[in-house]
Structure 1
Amino acid sequence: MYHYDPNLALEELQEDALLPHPVKLRDMILRTKLDANQAQLLNHDFQDYLTRFGELQKLGRGILERLAAGQRKAS
């Protein structure tokens, strides 16, 4: 846990987030027996997940970088 330290949060961003990394999620999908319709729907949702996952990582990184550059308030 980063305990409100943006520098540590940036380091943790390189590790797996609470949401499964898209590669691991893809592997879970590939290991599940699905019929054609289920697979198609799941693939569509996975593509959306993949896009949003990357966008949110980029957004989160930008926020954390700006916070890390600032000064901390006195406790």
Structure 2
Amino acid sequence: MNLATANIRQDWWADAITYIHNARNKQGKQQTELANHLLMTLGFIQLKAGFYRDAAASFRQITQDSRYAKRAALG
């Protein structure tokens, strides 16, 4: 996650997205708060980079009972 954040700050969106996907894959299929947080971060990165459909897909994967659900709905 730290590498993803560093890449985001330097506007290296593709690298940040890769790091987030790798971190999510380590979580497996279980939807945890960390996975939801990663999905929310990924969605906002994709929005800023102009990947609107990918961002919508990322936001849709966030579980409804997550504390990030309301923020994802705004995205």
Q: Smaller-chain TM-score range?
A: 0.3 to 0.5
Query: If the length of structure 1 is used for normalisation, what is the TM-score?
Result: 0.37
Q: How high is the TM-score relative to the length of structure 2?
A: 0.37
| Structure ranking higher in helix proportion | 2
Highest Rg: 1 or 2?
1
